[in-house]
Structure 1
C-alpha cells in the first residue's frame, strides 16, 4: 500500500471577471463531460454513479465526445443511456441542449476548447489530468511518466483555458510514489481512482475550489508529446536494458515494441529480463554488436543485444506471429549473423533531457 500525499492548493489567482464564476450557482449541478478514451471512461463512470446515487451534487449529466469506431466513451455513454453530443458541433451543446450547463468536466479529450464554449459554462470547465502539472503537459502523460522512470506520479485538477493545453490554474493535486515495475494499465487505474476522489472533493464546492486555485509553476515544465509510429521502435545502439523495459511497460496494452529487419517491421512480444550471468557471458562471447539476435534454448527467447547488455523476447511477429524457437528456425539459423536495425526513437529525445535526478 502506498501513502498518498495530498497537496491542497491555497493561493487564489484567477484572472476572470467576477460575474464569470457566479456564486449564485446552487447545487445540484448540470454537468457536461468531455472525454474519449479508457481513462476518460473511468471518470465518466464515477460521475454517473454520483448522478444516479447522489442527486445533491449532479442533477443532469451529458457527454461530449469525438466520432471514432474505437471511442471508449462513445460506446460507454450509449450503455449508460446518457445524452451524447458529437464534437465539434458546439452549437448543439450550447443552444440545443435541454439544460443550461453549470460546469464542464474534461478528461483526456485531446481537443482544444474555444473561448466561446468555455465561457458558456458559469463555472467554467475543469480537467482531470494524470500527472503532477506542470510536469508532463500534453496528450501522453502516463506513457512519459513510466518511460522516463519517474519515481513520483500524480493527478491534477486544473482549469481549462482556450488555445493551449494544460496551462490552467491548479484546483487540487495529489502525488504518490511509483513502483519500479509499474505498467501502463496499473498506472491508468491508479490515476483514474485518485482523479475520481479529487473530483468528488471539488464538486462539494466548485466555487471555493476555484477561489483557492493556484497558477502553475513556471519551472519544471515538461511535455508528453503525441506519439508517432517511431515511438514504438527500439534503438539498439542507444537504448539500455532499463530504457527498453520502461518503454515496454509504458506501452503495455497499447502497442507492441518494434524493431526492423531488412527494412521490414518486426513486433516484439513477451519481454524477458535476462538475469543469469552464465547466459549473459555466453552471449557476450558470441557478439557485442547492438541489434544482434541469438536464440537461447533454456530461456526459450530471442536474446537481443542493446547498448549495455541483452534483453529477450518470447514471441516475434515478422510476416506472422511466431514463438522464439520458430523465429530461430525460420530466420536466425539461416544467416551467419542476424542483426536487427537500430531505429531512432523520438520519444527519448525529450526524456533524456527532462528526466528527474535520482
Structure 2
C-alpha cells in the first residue's frame, strides 16, 4: 500500500481527509488476525496450543484466541477437591481468556462471539454442527495418527500396542456429525518414532511437536487466503482405535510374551496381576489379591540359577534392583509394586511383606479369568 493510503478505524483513507472508504469485513478481519476458539484438555492439546501461540498468535495470524474448557469438577476424598483439565493451568499461565462449555447448548451459545475458526484437539466431545456453521472457516483438529488409520479416541495407545513401524499426525477439518471423518488438510510421517521404546506420553509429545506447526501452517494459509487449504489424498486404510479394554491391563502370563507385556505397559501404564493368599492368622483369608506392577522393563538375559528357579510363567523372585518375573518367552523386571490394600513398594520391601500378606504360598503371579 502506498504512503497515500492508511487505515482509520475500519475505513481506508486516501490522500484527502474526507476520502474514507469502508473496508470489506473479510479484508478487515485478515488485517487484525483470525478470531479463534480453541477446545482442549490434555497434554497433547496443550503442546499443540503452545506451538500455535508461538507461531500463529505471535505472527498475528490470530488476533483473538479464547480457550474453551470443560467445567471443573469436584473429586478426591469427600469431593472436596476442585479438579481441572490440565489445559486450564496453561491458559491461565498464558493469560488466555477461558470460557466454559461442555453441553451442546453451551457450545452453541458461543456462536454469539462470531469466531472465524474453531480448533478442537483432544477435547473428547463432538463440536455441534450448529456452532460449526456459525464459523467463517469451520473447524480444525490435530489427530495423532495417519488418518483414516486409527480414527477414534486412542490412536497413540493402539500404535504402541500393535507395534506399528510407521506413524504420524494429521490436521483435518472438523466433520459436522462424526469424529475423524473430516477432510485431511495436512499429514506428515514422524521420522523420530521409536516403536520399541515409545510410551503414550513420549509419542504424544513427538506427534504434537509435529502437528502443532502443521496446524499453524493451516491457520496461516487461512489467514492469507481467507479459505481453508484444499484436502489432500491419503493412502492409509481406515481402522478404528477405541479406548483400551480394561482387560488389557491384566497380564496373562501363559499368553503374553515379554514384548507384548512391555508394549502394554508403554501404552497403558501400570498393569496388574493376582497373587494367591492363604493366611491363617486373624483375619484368615484364602483367595486372590490384586498386585499392581509399575516401572516394568524387559530383561535380555538372566543367570542360569535364576533361569532354573523361574520355570513357569508368572513365577517371580527378587534381585537387588527389582523383581524378576517369568513371561511366556522370557523375563521382565519390575521395580515398583502395590499389593491390594497397601501403598507402593520397591521389590525388596514387597518381598519382605509377602509372608504376612499371603502366607506360605508359592512365589507365582496368576491370571484371574473370572
TM-score category (smaller protein): 0.7 to 0.9
Query: Which deviations, in whole Å up to 9, do the C-alpha atoms of 1:236-264 show, x marking residues without a partner?
Result: 1211100111222223xxx4222222443
Q: CA RMSD for the aligned pairs? A: 2.7
| 2:83 is aligned with 1:60 | no
| 2:349 is aligned with 1:326 | yes
Q: State the distance in 2 between where 1:202 and 1:33 align.
A: 14
The answer to whether the 8 A contact 2:144-2:170 is kept is: yes
The answer to whether the 8 A contact 1:168-1:215 is kept is: no
Within 5 Å, which residues of 2 pair with 1:24-173? 26-27=29-30, 28-50=33-55, 52-55=57-60, 57-68=61-72, 69-89=83-103, 95=109, 99-173=113-187
The answer to whether the 8 A contact 1:169-1:215 is kept is: no
| 2:185 is aligned with 1:187 | no
TM-score of the two chains, using structure 2 as the length reference:
0.76
Q: Which one has a bigger Cα radius of gyration?
A: 2
Partner of 2:18: none
Query: Which deviations, in whole Å up to 9, do the C-alpha atoms of 1:296-316 show, x marking residues without a partner?
Result: x3x532121222122111221
User: Which of 237, 256, 271 is the matching residue for 1:257?
Assistant: 271
TM-score of the two chains, using structure 1 as the length reference:
0.79
Report how many aligned residue pairs link the two structures: 314
Q: State the distance in 2 between where 1:25 and 1:171 align.
A: 25
Deviates more, 1:220-229 or 1:233-242: 220-229
User: Which of 248, 252, 269 is the matching residue for 2:265?
Assistant: 248
| 2:303 is aligned with 1:285 | no
Deviates more, 1:137-146 or 1:96-105: 96-105
Q: Higher relative CO (CA 8 A, sep ≥ 6), structure 1 or 2?
A: 1
Q: State the distance in 2 between where 1:101 and 1:208 align.
A: 14
User: Which of 226, 230, 241 is the matching residue for 1:212?
Assistant: 230
1:208 is displaced (CA, Å) by: 8.0
The answer to whether the 8 A contact 2:107-2:127 is kept is: no
Deviates more, 1:124-133 or 1:162-171: 162-171
